[in-house]
Structure 1
């Protein structure tokens, strides 16, 4: 991002000496809570799309891939300021909406995305302008490996279509691959945030730079209690073809079962919890900025807004706590911060095996300075917690951790 941008959502605490376009330099940990009512949060294709379960505890599961897909879908539909995408060409480099394309999307041909002319143009600009390489070396072909015969004469070089291992990379080849990596990260938000393996084909084939590790990582989400699965058979009142109609009329729809369409699987109610980790070390590699972090948190709070479907209509984010450290390494262990978010069943609901709504829970979470140190008689904040979303009923007493 070449020009200054403003934070649209102000969901982060921007350090006084930082700008929105600066790379995030502090560690973050987040606790994400969402619930599902008469919904299938994440179907398992190996079990006929039934909700995923932990086999030994029968608690519900939602994969990290599923959660990241919700974030990708938000930026596929909306710009960073929350306005609708117009379906036009990608925003110009340097504009406030640039860099929010989605790389892993339905029916995408990844090699075509990587080799798009605009990506090559941006990579070449990075190659020359930032990596200080000779523009003439951009198109330098790999040199054939040559040896010497016993008589000292040079051996015949292999043809240009020789296998890759028979050729030697030009000195600028690594810089070219790095430029491509940086161009892709700047253009595609999901690569910049979550990373990806893009070394299987295209300009980064076989390269270390094609294995991008993103700064944002989600854990699996797990329900706090066992979930009750509901199974419903659905039928249709019409037929798909004239042949099927004749078969139905001859035997009767109730006997043949031709009008049966399938089954729906949902959980009656489940409160799910996931942890989110943010590494500034990997943010430096992909160029993930405070502007990106603010937009990411906005996307998380709206991750189910346009995700509603017949089997997934009752889902919402009910809790999002951001723990912001003062340093890149962090000022407290993540598990100790996660333990500060305490949620438990209410005393009245413990008599029932399965919870039925959010009212069956109560909990507490910190909001403000969590860790501090005194320097020269003044208190310096080391870890600050912020309740970005919190709809859990407050505890009437000290509850256990979940």
Structure 2
């Protein structure tokens, strides 16, 4: 592993390749298709949305805050949370800055409110946010981190499983106690996601922030297991770090240097051991680029 400072340096560009496997699980249900696993209808490859992946990062960060693992906690709050109004949090920001809410806030105060939100909320600082939805506008923030849609290395074929429940739903219908349901899972899929960190002017991201990001991505499926996704695990997280903010090589060239191949001519991979994942040797990297194997 390379020097930790290289992949947590907030002043330079980073390109990361995340690989995770789903075994007998639904990694990301499609609400437009009865919650079945997302797939590319033309190729059959499995898909996981960027929103789903960022949700899991947020959940891991929130867990660390709740457990007292991140300090100061006020810097690692999560803006987009289940059951929490976004506008209410924006109004809290106005209150903390001594500004009355209402339409037509001056541009300089909108900017101050945005700075407050960036400083307080980890997900705003990293992913950005649109915060102009109510009477306490904080404008729009573009984050330095971009998470792509994950795609399976090979096509997947989701399985629909019929399930039954012995308990009745209503007291008066005990004679019809057996209830039918269904669940859809992917037998196996190795998913690949590309993540980019591009430092920006007036960047408020710290070295610790990047450490939290990579750690949370490495553990993103550990806290979200359920009956629908009991076995999803991160297999690899490779971070390519440049020596400049512009970058020393195209991201695509770096990602292509990681070889993902089936160990034999298997038509139906069913485990991660059916693949070999080989990162590039340090001596083959472009000048100014280092590689950190986080997982």
TM-score by length of 1: 0.68
Question: Alpha-carbon deviation of 1:54?
Answer: 0.4
In structure 2, C-alpha distance between the alignment counterparts of 1:66 and 1:386, rounded to whole Å: 25
Residue in structure 1 matching 2:241, options 308, 324, 338: 324
Question: Alpha-carbon deviation of 1:12?
Answer: 6.9
Match of 1:385 in 2: 291
Structure with the bigger RCO (C-alpha within 8 Å, sep 6+) is 2
2:123 matches 1:190? yes
Question: Which is higher, the Rg of structure 1 or of structure 2?
Answer: 1
Unaligned runs of 5+ in 1: 1-9, 125-137, 143-163, 373-381, 390-402
Q: Secondary structure at the match of 1:98?
A: helix
Q: Secondary structure at the match of 2:261?
A: strand
Match of 1:13 in 2: 4
In structure 2, C-alpha distance between the alignment counterparts of 1:27 and 1:275, rounded to whole Å: 14
Q: For residues 202 and 285 of structure 1, do their structure 2 counterparts lie closer, same or farther at Cα, with a shift above 3 Å needed?
A: farther
Match of 1:273 in 2: 192
Residue in structure 1 matching 2:108, options 166, 175, 197: 175
In structure 2, C-alpha distance between the alignment counterparts of 1:305 and 1:217, rounded to whole Å: 22
Q: Deviations over 1:154-192 (max 9, x none)?
A: xxxxxxxxxx6xx8x7xxx22211110000111111111
In structure 1, C-alpha distance between the alignment counterparts of 2:127 and 2:111, rounded to whole Å: 18
Q: Secondary structure at the match of 1:386?
A: strand
CA contact (8 A) 1:24 1:289 kept: yes
Which aligned pairs between 1:56-75 and structure 2 lie closer than 5 A?
56-75=42-61
Question: Alpha-carbon deviation of 1:58?
Answer: 0.4
Residue in structure 2 matching 1:76, options 62, 86, 105: 62
In structure 1, C-alpha distance between the alignment counterparts of 2:68 and 2:157, rounded to whole Å: 38
CA contact (8 A) 1:76 1:85 kept: no
Unaligned runs of 5+ in 2: none
In structure 1, C-alpha distance between the alignment counterparts of 2:269 and 2:234, rounded to whole Å: 17
CA contact (8 A) 1:368 1:386 kept: no
Query: RMSD across aligned C-alpha pairs, in angstroms?
Result: 2.4
Residue in structure 2 matching 1:353, options 267, 274, 288: 267
Q: For residues 233 and 188 of structure 1, do their structure 2 counterparts lie closer, same or farther at Cα, with a shift above 3 Å needed?
A: same
Question: What is the count of residue pairs matched by the alignment?
Answer: 293
Match of 2:139 in 1: 210
